[in-house]
């Protein structure tokens, strides 16, 4: 299938036309029927999952989520703040005895229970963008009208569709390691060439149904600096325009990076914000993950030379959700 | 180790003394050191994970989470309400063009982005209770003071400790199927005898490091009734007191049920509320999962006769969290 | 000015045409300029406030707000739930000493501070609807486009406009008292005739700049029943269509009732929901208050025969707010 | 009564002993009975309100609240963040027609309704601290145990007690104007001498039942700087220790300032944080208001030489609330 797709030359100063061409080039609208809401997750079939399970050797598990708390990278811009954690009842209430008064009608039942609550923007930390997250020309993935994402959330393409789908083979592409650096610098684009070099150098294949994790090292850079700095929305390394056909043609199921916005920033298209979200989410129907902490996993992959693993990163099935926090795990 | 533990006879009308004895009988305080915060998750070692991965045959995935939305079972009692989902920006804003005005300084960047937010009590739906969730006699698991769970959450035993731990072998024990019924009735206790019968009848072993899913069928009953009814806090089938040593002696890593509170309700101990939470969470240090939807998985296990599977149910790493919503997946 | 306005006969079965005619009849669009955002609050001038202050005799104060808590009337319908109150830190934390640990870096500063938080739908309790609350034919008050109320709230007509305006002369019209009843029954309309009778019987005038409080007694009925029942959105007594010109012609500044939705329910217009909101809020630019507890005030007015008073009910200046909770006070 | 109270000499380096002496000196515990929850609000009697109303001359109204939005002064420290405003449904949904789909079962009822929601720390903006806000030596005002402020809020001394009480005579004391300056500098204390000088210079009396507004000009300074800077929790001008007996002896009902924490910061007592909160809130039972924007009012008072006015600042009756946002109004 991929062979028949024409190439899209990327001009020096790409604009909306190039984005439109790439969107068309990489479109999966209608590919799995007019009522599909899964997009490239369709590439993951039980066989892929079974094969992925066979990659497990030692049984070591790596969590790729940053902590869910108020020390995350968000600054409040575009409405995204860090998660707020509040106690509904805590251990102090058990110790002072007020828990019995406040929750059990004054009766001491010998039990103390603590409860808590999160106020969490679903795009605030390690997260999946759903296929309802990106609107282009009044449409979301598969051509549904943007108005399908209304006041109460997405009636189509919500993240709950992926509830038992993001399980399969994971592949880490560690881009800075190609050049022996700890991280890419803001503004460095990861294009088809870098992805290809990474695959070749690491000796790993990327194919149908894979979940591809692209490391730029930016989280490591922030950790080294001791501050998130402008991680949220500022300049960043990230994927470039010609990565789109590369991912599309290999029929990957999902893609995630260790940056806030996945794409190289400033974007390569001055007039189009986050063009790869338009191409990959709205048109290819590809789940994009962001703020995945790939540092420990990358260390391990470098040490054993194995860049593939069993990977599970199912979202919370938030009805109508246009995203979901997730704790992705790689099992080697 | 288990052989040396004395039996605890359960009197006809057990009270706080029986709970104390069982708590002592099943205590893991100090077992993994004075600073342990993992409890029985220590039973899961990489070997267990690797062995669990080898259970995968067809690669089919089952999500065990109920939808995260405002139609869940909670009623607001003891401060638990159903999750509230709100849009920060939606597709309508893209269509009307106000998104550019409200988020991008008036500039049309060709991109529409939808964002959303959850206000979610961490115990409201399919969830893990952390080892900081239960206080007994001013202590939480491993003897830490209850005041370790303060205004800002748990400084010890929080759910983030489990961030890369709840991956391993899952075993489903389908109790109503033992007697050919669709569900147990409220008030029916699942004790050691029922667990033993289930293991024997199903032809499955339960051992060290396993995550045991105990089905009562109550979610199926609610679905059949078309209403949650008094699912949240009302009478329910569930595990009984003598299940505690059974689970403890087999060194299971975690246990989950398809009910609101895991335990049979009314509890067997009129003077002690949720006694098994005291015994298992506060003393054994066992992660308890609740509101796990086991219906589809149980159907599948019955049809293929295989009640063991690879299981992954990592929580969100909520700093200080005394629980976490989770989308558990069984892979067969 | 009012004399020149034509009458609008209310047909037996009024529909959208009648609503449109009444909206036109009572429109204040452009009356105070193309950039007005105050509507009938323009009727309140300093003179009115000064005159209102002279109504104060004994200095007794009546609060008209229902408690702000989770026992309010809302049911979650149309996204309105009762306010959720959470502690950020409480007295228990002071007593156990964890407050110093959690908030003051471990240092005992001799001070204990408690803090709290509300999650509050702005239309959930005693509240003012702003002039941005109602959209009719894609417009809000003064002809502004409905899209002025976007993802981040109202950029025109928000409730903050009223921040120093809802202070003046209040008049209570106690409708059930006209017929010696404790309350009106659901479905009973308060039209021009009832308002006129009330004014005449009570011996009070309603004029320019007044804030008119119309009592149906429904809160008293709920209190008597010991339950909110279907107060939120169910059948209710309330104002009827021909009350609109009556209020408009008298140039009242604001109007409030003791019901959930101000209007008689079921509405008199089967095809148009809440027609008076369209006429009065969207076209007349009149602030409508709801869920005002008028019971104690009404008792007092009946006992002293004085139905006018100084009234202050300024909203919180919520930027972009389409409503605001308020604690209205009448001073007699 | 005040004459019999001994003076408390303030040492050069006051410590906890001085705070205890001042607390005792200014204590109102038991003054209005063992079950009092109003504190100095008891000083406001209907006569005071009636007299205050007679102060109204021109009828001009001044709102003293800062905007309720995410651009407020809070930084997230000690759990206080700026209010978060979210739309439940907006004008875009009316325009696109999805409102009918999402809220009215698909039926076009000709009505568009916008709704919104606040997540608001009750101490985040212009606010009253309730008498449950401050704990000293395990007690709150009137000697109630601190545990009366539990997981569900204050069962005594909550802010709802003040629901019809904070109405009366307001007096503005404009301290920087004494020395012809626009504002006091951080660290400048407003003590008895400054208050006395202000009263004398302004030609205004402060007496029983008054609500005293003390201007430092800090909000003006921030506005001039174009940034809140360290307004929230940083160095600030504010009241000093010997202001406590001054306020107590005059039997004022409430006191508010235009700073984040009312007291001079750094506090005069290195070992005791916010000592005046201990003395005035926990012992005198005095309502303290913070972040009152006094700039416009001060200009007006300076221009007409009248520093007294009718004042209304009733809190929202938040059940269990330890504080409340408020929009205070002065009427001249």
Among B111, B120, B154, beta carbon nearest to A120: B120
Q: Which residues of B touch D86 (CB under 8 A)?
A: 86-88, 117
Q: Which candidate, C321, A124, B97, places its Cα nearest to that of D84? A: C321
- Contact B210/B190 with Cβ under 8 angstroms? no
Q: Which residues of A touch B170 (CB under 8 A)?
A: none
What is the pLDDT at residue C6? 63
Fill in the DSSP letter of residue C51. Answer: H
pLDDT above 80 for A1: no
Contacting chains of A (3 CB pairs or more, <8 Å) are B, C, D
Contact D46 C54 (CB under 8 A): no
Q: Using the structure block, give the residue that is written with the tokens 């700087």.
A: D225
What is the pLDDT at residue B3? 45
Mutate one of B70, B112, B150, B156 to test the C interface: name it (highest C CB count within 10 A): B150
Fill in the DSSP letter of residue C266. Answer: S
What SS3 state is found at D154? strand
Q: How many percent of chain C have pLDDT more than 70?
A: 98
Among D76, D81, D99, beta carbon nearest to A151: D99
- Contact A245/A193 with Cβ under 8 angstroms? no
pLDDT above 90 for D18: yes
- Whole-number Å distance between alpha carbons of A279 and D11: 71
pLDDT digits (tens, 9 = 90+) for C72-131: 999 998 999 999 999 999 999 999 999 999 999 999 999 999 999 999 999 999 999 999
Whether the predicted model's global pTM rises above the 0.95 cut: yes
Contact D86 B90 (CB under 8 A): no
Q: Which residues of C touch A151 (CB under 8 A)?
A: 79
What value does the mean pLDDT of chain A take? 96
Q: CA of C153, closest CA in chain B: separation in Å? A: 9
Q: Which two tokens stand for residue B149?
A: 């769970």
Q: Which residues of B touch D119 (CB under 8 A)?
A: 119
Q: Which residues of B touch D95 (CB under 8 A)?
A: 92, 96
Packing angle between helix B218-225 and helix B295-304, nearest 10 degrees?
120
Among A70, A102, A150, beta carbon nearest to D150: A102
State which residue of chain B sits closest to A45, comparing Cα positions.
B59
State which residue of chain B sits closest to A110, comparing Cα positions.
B272
Q: Which residues of D touch A87 (CB under 8 A)?
A: 151
Q: What pLDDT band is residue C321 in, cutting at 50, 70 and 90?
A: very high
pLDDT digits (tens, 9 = 90+) for A91-121: 999 999 999 999 999 999 999 999 999 999 9
Contact B115 A122 (CB under 8 A): yes
Helix/strand/coil (H/E/C) assignment for every residue in chain B: CHHHCCCCCCCCCCCHHHHHHHHHHCCCCCCCCCCCCCHHHHHCCHHHHHHHHCCCCCCCEEECCCCECCCCCCCCHHHCCCCEEEEEECHHHHHHCHHHHHHCCCCCCCCEECEEEEEEECCCCCEEECCCCEEECCECHHHCEHHHEECCEECCCCHHHHCCCCEEEEEEEEHHHHCCCCCCCCCCEECHHHHHHHHHHHCCCCCCCCEEEEECCHHHHHHHHCCCCCCCCCCECEECCCHHHHHHHCCCCEEEECCCCCECECCCCCCCCCHHHHHHHHHHCCEEEECCCCHHHHHHHHHHCCCEEEEECCCCCECCCCEEECCCEEEC
Inter-CA distances, B41 with A59, B243, B244, D263, Å: 14, 18, 16, 50
- Contact B22/B277 with Cβ under 8 angstroms? no
What is the pLDDT at residue D141? 98
Contacting chains of C (3 CB pairs or more, <8 Å) are A, B, D
What is the pLDDT at residue C77? 87
Mutate one of D78, D92, D98 to test the A interface: name it (highest A CB count within 10 A): D98
pLDDT digits (tens, 9 = 90+) for A194-213: 999 999 999 999 999 999 99
What is the pLDDT at residue A279? 98
- Contact D93/D102 with Cβ under 8 angstroms? yes
Contact C87 D164 (CB under 8 A): no
What is the pLDDT at residue B5? 64
- Whole-number Å distance between alpha carbons of B158 and A316: 20
Q: Which candidate, A255, A23, A233, places its Cα nearest to that of A128? A: A255
What is the pLDDT at residue B4? 53
Contact D165 C94 (CB under 8 A): no
- Whole-number Å distance between alpha carbons of C205 and D34: 45
Q: Which residues of B touch A57 (CB under 8 A)?
A: 50
pLDDT digits (tens, 9 = 90+) for C66-80: 999 999 999 998 999
Contact C88 A86 (CB under 8 A): yes
Q: How far is CA D3 from the centre of its chain?
A: 27
Among B49, B121, B310, beta carbon nearest to A117: B121
State which residue of chain B sits closest to D93, comparing Cα positions.
B92
Mutate one of C90, C112, C115 to test the A interface: name it (highest A CB count within 10 A): C90
Contact B93 D95 (CB under 8 A): no
φ, ψ for residue B89, nearest 5 deg: -155, 145
What is the pLDDT at residue D325? 98
What value does the mean pLDDT of chain C take? 96
Contact A92 B53 (CB under 8 A): no
Inter-CA distances, B278 with B19, B135, B166, Å: 8, 7, 21
State which residue of chain A sits closest to B49, comparing Cα positions.
A59
Mutate one of A151, A154, A228 to test the D interface: name it (highest D CB count within 10 A): A151
Contact D111 C59 (CB under 8 A): no
Positions in chain B short of pLDDT 70? 1-7
């Amino acid at each position: 299938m991929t062979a028949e797709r024409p190439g899209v030359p990327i001009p020096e100063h790409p604009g909306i036309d190039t984005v439109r061409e790439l969107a068309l080039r990489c479109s999966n609208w209608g590919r799995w029927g007019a009522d599909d809401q899964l997009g490239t997750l369709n590439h993951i079939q039980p066989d892929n999952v079974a094969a992925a399970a066979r990659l497990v050797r030692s049984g070591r598990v790596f969590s790729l989520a940053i902590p869910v708390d108020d020390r995350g990278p968000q600054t409040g811009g575009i409405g995204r703040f860090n998660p707020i954690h509040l106690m509904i009842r805590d251990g102090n209430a058990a110790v002072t005895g007020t828990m019995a008064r406040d929750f059990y009608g004054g009766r001491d039942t010998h039990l103390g229970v603590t409860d808590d609550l999160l106020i969490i923007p679903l795009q605030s930390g390690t997260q999946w963008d759903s296929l309802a997250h990106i609107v282009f020309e009044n449409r979301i993935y598969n051509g549904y009208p943007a108005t399908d994402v209304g006041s109460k959330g997405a009636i189509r393409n919500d993240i709950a569709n992926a509830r038992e789908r993001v399980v399969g083979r994971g592949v880490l592409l560690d881009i800075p390691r190609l050049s022996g650096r700890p991280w890419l610098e803001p503004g460095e684009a990861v294009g088809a060439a870098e992805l290809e070099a990474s695959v070749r150098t690491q000796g790993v294949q990327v194919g149908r149904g894979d979940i591809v994790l692209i490391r730029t090292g930016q989280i490591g850079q922030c950790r080294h600096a001791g501050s998130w700095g402008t991680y949220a929305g500022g300049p960043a390394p990230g994927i470039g325009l010609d990565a789109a056909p590369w991912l599309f043609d290999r029929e990957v199921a999902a893609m995630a990076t260790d940056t806030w916005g996945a794409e190289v920033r400033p974007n390569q298209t001055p007039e189009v914000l986050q063009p790869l979200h338009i191409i990959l989410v709205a048109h290819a129907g590809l789940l994009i993950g962001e703020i995945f902490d790939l540092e420990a996993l990358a260390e391990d992959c470098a040490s054993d030379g194995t860049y593939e693993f069993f990977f599970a990163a199912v979202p919370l099935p938030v009805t109508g959700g246009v995203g979901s926090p997730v704790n992705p795990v790689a099992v080697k």
